[in-house]
């Protein structure tokens, strides 16, 4: 059962990350993108007050499952975990965090622009 939960959390992570990075592109998902991105920012910075900046409850839950499956030395970041796993390297968490923040803030900036300032694209 824990293997299935681990897979489901991985899938959920990938969906949320993909949505946060790319949902601003399509007009029908732009408003929802702002909501999901806002929730993500809230987790990172509001929940981050208590749990550490960049906190993700989904990562927290998934790491609990991975630990029950015997994995140890898990990084704070889902993105770092999979970047290392896919590349076979131990990529600096600072590099991963910088790429994550720059990509996410770029997507949010584009979303805000398209939702509020780009009047030519309104329906």
What's the pLDDT tens digit per position in 71-91? Answer: 999 999 999 999 999 999 999
Contacts of 54 (CB under 8 A, 6+ apart): 44, 48, 76, 77, 97
CA distances from 102 to 1, 44, 50, 76, 81 (A): 36, 14, 23, 18, 18
Is the Cβ–Cβ distance between 30 and 23 less than 8 Å?
A: yes
pLDDT at 118: 80
Asked whether residue 121 carries a pLDDT value surpassing 80, the answer given is no
Asked whether residue 122 carries a pLDDT value surpassing 70, the answer given is no
């Amino acid at each position: 059962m824990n293997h299935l939960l681990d897979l489901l959390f991985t899938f959920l992570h990938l969906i949320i990350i993909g949505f946060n990075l790319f949902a601003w592109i399509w007009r029908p998902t732009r408003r929802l993108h702002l909501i999901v991105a806002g929730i993500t920012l809230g987790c990172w910075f509001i929940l981050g007050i208590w749990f550490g900046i960049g906190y993700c409850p989904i990562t927290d839950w998934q790491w609990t499952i991975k630990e029950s499956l015997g994995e140890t030395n898990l990084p704070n970041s889902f993105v770092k975990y999979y970047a290392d796993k896919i590349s076979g390297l131990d990529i600096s968490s600072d590099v991963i965090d910088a790429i994550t923040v720059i990509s996410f803030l770029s997507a949010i900036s584009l979303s805000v622009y398209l939702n509020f300032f780009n009047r030519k694209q309104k329906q």
